[in-house]
Structure 1
Amino acid sequence: CCSKLKLFLVSLAFVYFAKAFGGAYMKSSITQIERRFDIPSSLIGVIDGSFEMGNLLVIAFVSYFGAKLHRPRLIGIGCLVMATGSFIVALPHFLQGPYKYETSMSHNTQVNTTENILPLSLSKLDPSLQSVYLTSCERESSSHMWIYVFLGNALRGIGETPVTPLGISYIDDFAKAENSPFYIACLQTITLLGPMFGFLLGSYCAKLYVDVGYVDMESVTITPKDSRWVGAWWLGFLISSSLLLVSSIPFWFLPRSLPKQGDETDTPTPPSLTLDGAESAQSSNQTIKLTEIAKGFLPSLKRLLGTPTYFLFLCAAILKFNSFIGLLTFKAKYMEQQFGQSASRANFLIGVLNLPAVAVGIFLGGLLMRRYKLSVVSGAQLSFATSFMGYLLLLLQFGTKCDNRPVAGLTVSYNGTQSVSYNGEMLFSDCNRDCSCSPNEWDPVCSDSGITYVSPCMAGCLNSSGRGKNTVFHNCSCASTSYPPGSSTSARLGQCPHAKDCTRSFTSYMAVSVLSSFINSLGATPGYMVIIRCITPDLKSLALGIQTLVTRTLGGIPAPVYFGALIDSTCLKWSIKKCGGKGACRIYDSNMYRIIFLGLITCLSGTSYFFMIAVIVLLKRQFWKADRDIELQQRKASKESGIMAQLETQEKSGAGSTSPKLSSDKTDSTGVGKDLEG
């Protein structure tokens, strides 16, 4: 029994690792996918939410019917489906052509040259070239490769469905009651190794150019910090697919049922005694009629949602999950836009700082429950207290900020004064009005004055020297407007860096973020156990499944979309596709981004605490009533035992008064007998 249960625990832990690895890698690749397919954040939110859409399709039925079927094999099937989905996500890279980023430079940079900067517009092209351009435009517009990513991610969601509800209920059925919280805590802790490695792999892949091995890197004029850079996002999905494929193997050899941990006999637990009420937990000749099982689904669901404690806890979980998904999805992007970090460094820091803190917190939370044997009420109170402390630390993040980078025509005027503008006409000034520049270009250059210009043409540059990333532009008329006469008027490729004090702000932000992650995670296991213990045992699998279903439906699906849409509202400069229409955002108003992003998280989390307080009050009443009933029964039992003791005492005293007569009679009779014998 123990060896098979341990095998199941190890196998399930590896599945948790593999699926968390794939999910975290998806989160770490959000920015890369957004840039590769040239789509806005709201659409990338829809793609990210497709995972939850896949869950929505089957989670309730898998949770309910899965408890009646062979749970380990269902988990194995889910792993195969997830592996297939991860492979489909990576397919567009092999079906698309090479990535071509927007640039005013020639892609032929084999020689070191000095050349003129001549703006190019479609109207000035030769008619034959115009037809070629429009043909390629039509071909590109008909290609919506992001749909593969959407479908593959949805398939990942479908495959993930049986893992958590069936895995947790399987452990809770066949493990000792006092060991279940510890096992679940260990499982969740090992699970967090998946996101750690997922973000670290995302960090590594973000450094690699998307077409690495197929292009000459000397010809690439952008760096990983550039908003046009796309890393090798596809590589991690192939690795994730392989891991999930391997993780499915052990579940085909595990039994449907196990003996209860601690039993002396080595016989499987009878189906009628399993906590989830599965009618057939053994491989016998009994056939399960799904229609008979289905009859109990709606009554069970009604009974579950009619439990006030569970319903209020579900409302709190929905709000918290909304804030968590929004934070996790766009945290790396927030670090990029607010503090000027590259996608690679942002993912690396999340992987080595935030996630280990969460892992330690979850483990310690489970250890606290086991060490002090916390009740359901105490577990709910611990979950609330730690979450609220993390919430207070979140408020401190509003003070850790960096100012907008100075970009001429967007965040500052051409003479250097602060002025945020969403108007494209502000991109033009007297120094570049006669250059016939396109306002749609984004090929930023940094002048010696510390001001970034949208393109070399917008900077008024006349010629350039060097090649690749080392290209330098000269005679930039706009650069001279913010400098004293006679100063340098050259500019180099790329945006100007943030001010030095931004580094200190970023250090403070990471310190607060890591501490908040640790404190929040302390209450994760106690909060999870509240769901299991506040309902009747036969509804346990259904409760876990419905919680996953509802939180992902009302949290996991809409949260990335409306977070992304609100983030899009802070965009200052969009890329423009060849055929027209908005692409991906190139630069955001970092102040508005911070207020909207952190403000939304704060509002969602703050509202959830009202429901948590109500849950704690209900739990106290529920268990106070139960304790009072037990106390009354004990008093009644003690009174009855007291009466019985008095009766026994009276009987003993009565028996004691008659015993001498009996004894003398016995003596006399013995004596008579002896006399007769004599």
Structure 2
Amino acid sequence: MSDDTKDPREVAPFLKESKLTAIDQKEQELEDARREQELSENLDDGKDITCGFWIFKGPTLQSFATETMYVTIYGIAGCFMAMCFAYFNGTITTLEKRYKIPTKTLGIISVGNDMSTMFASALTGYYLRKVHRPRWMGLGLFTIVIFCLLNCSLHFIYGAGEDALKLTRDHGAYQNLSGHLTSSQRDQKLCMNETSSCIQEDSVWVPQMILFLAQFILGIGQALFLVVGLAYMDDNTTKSKTPAMLSFSTFLRMLGPAIGYSLASLCLRWYIEPTAEPLIKPEDPRWLGAWWIGWLILAAMTALIAFVMTLFPKELPSSKARRLKYRKAGEPNTTVEMDFSLGYMWHSIKLLATNKVYVYNTIASILYFFGYMVYWIFTPKYIETQYQQSASMATMATGTVALGFSAAGVLLSGFVVSKYKPSARALAAWNATVDFLTVAGILGFVAIGCKGSDELSSMATVDGSCSVSCHCEYVHYAPICSPDNVTYISACHAGCTAKTKDQLERTLYTGCDCINPTNLTTGIELQYAVDGACHVDCFNQFLLFLGVMCFLKLVGASSKSTNLLIALRCIPPEDKSFALGLGSMVASLFGFIPSPIFYGWLIDKYCLVWGKTCSNKGNCWLYDTVSLRYALNLAAGTCILLGGFMNIVVWYHAKHLKIFDDEKAKSLEDITLKDLGSTLQLQKLDENI
């Protein structure tokens, strides 16, 4: 029988066998692919979970590849990063004086990190999802090292400066005491009969550009460290341990501002040129502390922790073991691929724009940030100006004294929310209450003035017509004190013509025609002045201000978690990351970036004495303290008051918002790391709280 006439019953077994063979072949291909994948994973196990690189690896080092060790190192690194932010804020006034930078310009410089962080965070979160994340975190920390070295480099490029060196014994600023002064001394101190020439100096733009570049680089390093680090923590820690891990790392990071301000206070007690003997004390407004030393310390510490961070493996062994166990158990993959198309993004924005709780809560946060930013950045300068405290004392009070109150506020609010599980309306009502209490405290700042400090501002116009012929426009700020306890900007402004020393080795200026001898029994013979500003005692007012500031720290920190809970619960889970990211960007655009610039401009507006040079207005030496106190605090209070009204609107619309589940109440610790890592507002608060 030919093949064409075969019985179908004879052909069927061959067809069935052929079909079974194809199925078996397909199954065999799938099995081979699975085994190949498992083999690939097993081959990668040694590489992905191995600590260290090059010669820096081994069994001893591998024993540290644990969740607890990572969270500890991550928290310490975050502490060092927060120290850098705090140290910069603590040395702002010294940078102003040394490099003759207006406050508005320093405000622009300080937002450089916000600009770069805002854009770098989005790119980092999108492109660095499957890389060796600990090494990228280490790169981010090394970037912060560059930030520290760039700041410090200014001192090695420009030195201590002529103004600072003239106030040291080693450079002989006051050695010629016979009354026959050199031309340089006459230009700087005494009344002249002809117009003085302006002060020549190096380019003032180079230091400002270096400082801005350093801040911009800091923002990139911050984005690399925070975004990648939080994602690594979320992927490599047990979910049940997440709250404890998060709390521990946050606690370590909160130590950063206190340590950073303390380091700034310590460094500012030393003169800018440590090898020279200064002729003035730290309380003198002309004192320049050794601001640059702290950057060397911070650079060394950050470099060390950056190296340690790079030693962590691509994936922790415990995490990989759990992942393989879940895969073998056949658990489904719950990872949701996000749609990054512009259409989906625009659709999400429109949905969020109709979410009234989200919109008003975001506006309230921005108004609070905008109003309170001036106290986060310029509090040391405010204390120095209003209460005549040294830069070291102002920095210490800002960073360390109030830390305990901030920590107490965070812990207390966390306990109350976790225990009593208040409703959304209760949380919004507390946020509004905090805003109104903050406004009340700010009004207290307005009332807490110092009469002696306010009287100093009058020295800029004392007998101004008298010193017109002395041509003092470009004379350096060098205050002197008359016998009737009036401070003059300089000996030139007092019309002095000679200089000598008394029996107490104090520098005296004599022949001061502009000093009014009225009510002095001995007449014109007392037209002299002592070097240095007249003593002003504002310590009691300073303590009162400090007490109000601690109160504001306490209540302000207590609203941090309540505001975040509303932000997390008012949006659907699938839109949470995008909503928080969008809120962070909006907060940066309208809060974090413009507010330092605005307040810097406002502070400069009330300057009475500028350190003028040939090419620059320079820094401000003396402010109208009364007007500045009113304008600065009322502007900040107005913004926060508007934020309080926005929280009332949130309270009205939050009537149906559920903060906790009915079946199983979620405590404050149930906020996931991805929720926290999606917003830069939290990091900004941790730096300044």
In the superposition, the TM-score normalised over structure 2's length comes to 0.75
SS in 2 for 1:329: helix
Q: Distance in 2 between matches of 1:542 and 1:222?
A: 55
Amino acid of the structure 2 residue aligned with 1:411: S
Aligned counterpart, 1:225: 283
- Following superposition of structure 1 onto structure 2, how do residues 235-246 of structure 1 map, counting pairs within 5 Å? 235-246=293-304
Aligned counterpart, 2:635: 600
| Superposed CA offset, 1:560-599 (max 9, x none) | 111011111101111111x243110110000011011111
Give the CA RMSD over aligned residues: 4.1
- Following superposition of structure 1 onto structure 2, how do residues 258-297 of structure 1 map, counting pairs within 5 Å? 277=336
The farther-off stretch of 333-342 and 297-306 is 297-306
Q: Cα distance 1:142–1:367, how it changes in 2: closer, same or farther (>3 A)?
A: closer
C-alpha contact 1:400 1:505 (8 A) present in aligned 2 = yes
Aligned counterpart, 1:443: 478
Q: Distance in 1 between matches of 2:574 and 2:313?
A: 23
| Superposed CA offset, 1:87-139 (max 9, x none) | 212211111144122899995247473324677459x9xxxxx9xx99x93x7
Q: Percent identity?
A: 25
Mapped pair 1:153 → 2:189: no
**Shift of the alpha carbon at 1:368?**
3.1
Mapped pair 1:6 → 2:68: yes
Amino acid of the structure 1 residue aligned with 2:634: G
Mapped pair 1:528 → 2:564: yes
Which has more radius of gyration? Answer: 1
Mapped pair 1:341 → 2:397: no
Q: Distance in 2 between matches of 1:512 and 1:186?
A: 29
**Shift of the alpha carbon at 1:172?**
5.7
> Equivalent of 1:56, from 111, 114, 118?
118
- Following superposition of structure 1 onto structure 2, how do residues 331-410 of structure 1 map, counting pairs within 5 Å? 331-373=379-421, 378-403=426-451, 405=453
SS in 2 for 1:622: coil
SS in 2 for 1:253: coil
| Superposed CA offset, 1:13-36 (max 9, x none) | 112211110001111111111111
> Equivalent of 1:108, from 155, 165, 172?
172
Mapped pair 1:568 → 2:604: yes
**Shift of the alpha carbon at 1:164?**
3.8
Aligned counterpart, 1:660: none
SS in 2 for 1:484: coil
> Equivalent of 2:108, from 20, 41, 46?
46
> Equivalent of 2:155, from 89, 93, 107?
93
C-alpha contact 2:474 2:612 (8 A) present in aligned 1 = no
Aligned counterpart, 1:481: 517
Aligned counterpart, 1:302: 349
Aligned counterpart, 1:188: 250
Mapped pair 1:550 → 2:609: no
Q: Cα distance 1:232–1:103, how it changes in 2: closer, same or farther (>3 A)?
A: closer
| Superposed CA offset, 1:207-253 (max 9, x none) | 2222223xx32xx4443333333222222222222232233333551
SS in 2 for 1:55: helix
Q: Cα distance 1:33–1:411, how it changes in 2: closer, same or farther (>3 A)?
A: same
Aligned counterpart, 1:202: 264
Q: Distance in 2 between matches of 1:624 and 1:528?
A: 11
SS in 2 for 1:443: coil
Q: Distance in 2 between matches of 1:404 and 1:145?
A: 35
Amino acid of the structure 1 residue aligned with 2:139: I
SS in 1 for 2:654: helix
| Superposed CA offset, 1:342-374 (max 9, x none) | 111000111221122112222332333334455
> Equivalent of 1:464, from 481, 487, 499?
499
C-alpha contact 2:65 2:313 (8 A) present in aligned 1 = no
| Superposed CA offset, 1:321-353 (max 9, x none) | 222322111111111111111111000111221
Q: Distance in 1 between matches of 2:328 and 2:561?
A: 27
The farther-off stretch of 391-400 and 86-95 is 391-400
Aligned counterpart, 2:22: none
SS in 1 for 2:610: strand
**Shift of the alpha carbon at 1:531?**
3.0
Q: Cα distance 1:440–1:65, how it changes in 2: closer, same or farther (>3 A)?
A: same
> Equivalent of 2:367, from 308, 313, 319?
319
Q: Cα distance 1:260–1:525, how it changes in 2: closer, same or farther (>3 A)?
A: farther
- Following superposition of structure 1 onto structure 2, how do residues 424-439 of structure 1 map, counting pairs within 5 Å? 428-430=464-466, 432=467, 435=470, 437-438=472-473
Q: Cα distance 1:74–1:547, how it changes in 2: closer, same or farther (>3 A)?
A: farther
Q: Distance in 2 between matches of 1:269 and 1:615?
A: 47
Q: Cα distance 1:407–1:6, how it changes in 2: closer, same or farther (>3 A)?
A: same
Amino acid of the structure 2 residue aligned with 1:596: A
**Shift of the alpha carbon at 1:490?**
3.1
Aligned counterpart, 1:247: 305
C-alpha contact 1:461 1:473 (8 A) present in aligned 2 = yes
Q: Cα distance 1:19–1:75, how it changes in 2: closer, same or farther (>3 A)?
A: same
Q: Distance in 1 between matches of 2:374 and 2:454?
A: 28
Q: Distance in 1 between matches of 2:440 and 2:454?
A: 32
Matched pairs, number: 587
C-alpha contact 1:383 1:526 (8 A) present in aligned 2 = yes
Aligned counterpart, 1:623: 658
Q: Distance in 2 between matches of 1:565 and 1:28?
A: 19
**Shift of the alpha carbon at 1:543?**
4.0
> Equivalent of 1:514, from 543, 550, 556?
550
**Shift of the alpha carbon at 1:6?**
2.4
**Shift of the alpha carbon at 1:511?**
0.8
C-alpha contact 1:50 1:151 (8 A) present in aligned 2 = yes
Amino acid of the structure 2 residue aligned with 1:399: A
Q: Distance in 1 between matches of 2:337 and 2:293?
A: 42
SS in 2 for 1:621: coil
| Superposed CA offset, 1:464-515 (max 9, x none) | 22399932223433334244230643321111122x4x33222211111111
C-alpha contact 1:60 1:549 (8 A) present in aligned 2 = no
Q: Distance in 1 between matches of 2:440 and 2:530?
A: 43
C-alpha contact 2:569 2:659 (8 A) present in aligned 1 = no
C-alpha contact 1:336 1:342 (8 A) present in aligned 2 = yes
The farther-off stretch of 181-190 and 24-33 is 181-190
Q: Distance in 1 between matches of 2:187 and 2:624?
A: 29
The farther-off stretch of 235-244 and 509-518 is 235-244
Aligned counterpart, 2:539: 503
SS in 2 for 1:507: helix
C-alpha contact 1:260 1:268 (8 A) present in aligned 2 = no
Q: Distance in 1 between matches of 2:662 and 2:651?
A: 16
Q: Distance in 2 between matches of 1:390 and 1:34?
A: 29
What runs of 5+ residues in structure 2 fail to find an aligned partner?
1-48, 50-63, 191-195, 666-689
Q: Cα distance 1:227–1:460, how it changes in 2: closer, same or farther (>3 A)?
A: same
C-alpha contact 1:29 1:202 (8 A) present in aligned 2 = yes
Q: Distance in 2 between matches of 1:334 and 1:604?
A: 19
What runs of 5+ residues in structure 1 fail to find an aligned partner?
125-129, 280-291, 413-419, 631-678
Aligned counterpart, 1:676: none
| Superposed CA offset, 1:590-622 (max 9, x none) | 001101111121011111123323333333323
SS in 2 for 1:553: helix
SS in 1 for 2:621: strand
